[in-house]
Structure 1
């Protein structure tokens, strides 16, 4: 990963408690620490299952993030100006929505070969503890990469090429009003229903799996899901050609042709829902004193579910579990 620009701005309450913005006037020099921060932020963003994909709304094309980026990409403004304008827009949105935040606005641009992307993060601070050089425990402020973090990504290469609708993605925090704050700042318009696309995709996978020998079905499903989840973790679409080549024990030409014929037009590049993919190969659930998980292909084979009585029956327990149960009975 190559970072070409990076800057941070501070967000904090003023004396009256109203949100205030402290702008940095120069870019951060890209050193090991900046590279590490960018990698940590990106890793936290990619771990999120709730990433939404879309494009800039028509109303925001001339202003907001889209307008500012257009000026930056045509070199009408520099990166510092771009970031400070976005910081001021964020502050205005926070004041309008009555949002509270103590933390940082962090922006960086990543260049990977021909691909260029802008990342924008709104990161809160949290208090942690450290032991100082006098062996004393003292509080220290750190960045919170957890649920409070908000993130935006603009695939600048895809956006400029006008080749797709999913060049903009965002991951809001779960705090009340923060999703609206991020949507307004980005001018975000959703255009990809990942859950619906995943349901349709998995229906095609299941239909194709029925043509395979029974002993190959489980491995086939697992290979498909592993590849698709890995693509999601890299924020990359699933392409039919790449998926076909990643499968072992399957006629890749027949599989590729089948998907091309049965997926909707434009389905050659898919953004899929990671949670739905994992549920396709594994059922799982837990309560306080009970945890159950099993591969989905075991349903109606070793494992049977009776909906009327809400009962799960298992035939042929794992050896370790069986040994524990027998030992308990003998006691």
Structure 2
């Protein structure tokens, strides 16, 4: 995989002693190099790997600096450095208004991957790394903390140009800090949520099961089909691409590649021709898992009815053949750990 690097701007947002946000601007763009392309590629992969994303569109009732700055840049009325400064200023204003203590390096990366043109906007923290020279001299260096990327959004500029009415051209990481962070980032960008990836995923789950029932798939065929559907959707999501219904139909039922496509239309299932998905929800196609009351269970869907039996009336699971490490723990506990210790002697 490789990205075609176009522009990269980095500014720093800090807190003053009085607790106010202040921006520090780099006076020039980061020059293109192999190292820069590698950095942006890592950012691209890290962003794609985030499981919970929202999708949005510009809200034209909100007159925001980001929208106007992006428009001016795309019309060549300003350069990328000017766009980056305006975006940084807008972020400082929103951070202050929402009273969030977030600081860090604001990266704006413009690049191409495959046939799409992207703009990634992310606020990253940093962490110190330490190294020793051959003379055992200690040195410290500061690294961008890409692994903890939480405040980030990506514009699909190609989608914005050719299919803006669809409204899925902005994606953002929902984050772990609750709804307030998502709201803050949407306000910063001047957009509103569009497609719901989680709702789409649940609709796929229900529609696929309905189709397999109507098409009278056998048990093993269902298991294989669920795995194929999950693998296809996971691959698309990791690549930052939407699921294409026609392709999904061919994956689900290769012998009738348009079978699922026609079924959705005939049954008026309201499945879009192309849509984003959330892999976390689609795992239900291939795995059962749950936790509560001190119990945590997880097993592959294909084991149900074979090694795992479920009685609906008594709400009882019977598992034949436990994992070796679990079996060892259970045997040691029930027989007494001392018995194993003496056997070893």
TM-score by length of 1: 0.87
Q: Which residue of 1 aligns with 2:64?
A: 63
Aligned counterpart for 2:321 among listed residues 317, 320, 323: 317
Contact 2:253 2:259 in 1 (8 A): no
Q: SS of the counterpart of 1:189?
A: strand
The 3 A distance-change label for structure 1 pair 213 and 148 is: closer
Contact 1:237 1:271 in 2 (8 A): yes
Q: Tell me by how many angstroms 1:11 deviates.
A: 1.3
Distance 1:183 1:206 in 2: 35
Distance 1:123 1:322 in 2: 40
Q: Which residue of 2 aligns with 1:191?
A: 194
The 3 A distance-change label for structure 1 pair 327 and 181 is: closer
Q: Which residue of 2 aligns with 1:19?
A: 21
Contact 2:53 2:278 in 1 (8 A): no
Q: Tell me by how many angstroms 1:311 deviates.
A: 4.2
Contact 2:46 2:149 in 1 (8 A): no
Q: How many residues align?
A: 329
Distance 2:278 2:6 in 1: 31
Q: SS of the counterpart of 1:294?
A: strand
The 3 A distance-change label for structure 1 pair 114 and 235 is: closer
| Higher mean displacement: 130-139 or 109-118 | 130-139
The 3 A distance-change label for structure 1 pair 141 and 263 is: farther
Q: Tell me by how many angstroms 1:115 deviates.
A: 2.2
- Give the alignment's Cα RMSD to 1 decimal: 3.0
Distance 2:326 2:153 in 1: 49
Q: SS of the counterpart of 1:6?
A: strand
Q: Which residue of 2 aligns with 1:47?
A: 49
Q: Which residue of 1 aligns with 2:136?
A: 135
1:77-129 deviations in Å (ceiling 9; x for gaps): 11000000000111111222222233200001112454212110110122333
Q: Which residue of 1 aligns with 2:7?
A: 5
| Higher mean displacement: 75-84 or 5-14 | 5-14
The 3 A distance-change label for structure 1 pair 263 and 271 is: farther
Q: Which residue of 2 aligns with 1:96?
A: 97
Alignment pair present for 1:253 and 2:268: no
Aligned counterpart for 1:303 among listed residues 308, 314, 324: 308
Distance 1:266 1:73 in 2: 33
- Contiguous gaps of at least 5 residues in structure 1: none
TM-score by length of 2: 0.84
Q: Tell me by how many angstroms 1:214 deviates.
A: 2.0
Q: Give the alignment of 1:75-86 within 5 angstroms.
A: 75-86=76-87
Q: Tell me by how many angstroms 1:247 deviates.
A: 5.0
Q: SS of the counterpart of 1:230?
A: helix
| Higher mean displacement: 210-219 or 278-287 | 278-287
| Higher mean displacement: 317-326 or 119-128 | 317-326
1:21-63 deviations in Å (ceiling 9; x for gaps): 1111211111111111111111111111111012111323x43
Aligned counterpart for 1:238 among listed residues 231, 243, 253: 243
| Higher mean displacement: 319-328 or 219-228 | 319-328
The 3 A distance-change label for structure 1 pair 261 and 133 is: farther
Q: Which residue of 2 aligns with 1:207?
A: 210
Contact 2:264 2:270 in 1 (8 A): no
Distance 2:255 2:300 in 1: 21
Q: Which residue of 2 aligns with 1:178?
A: 181
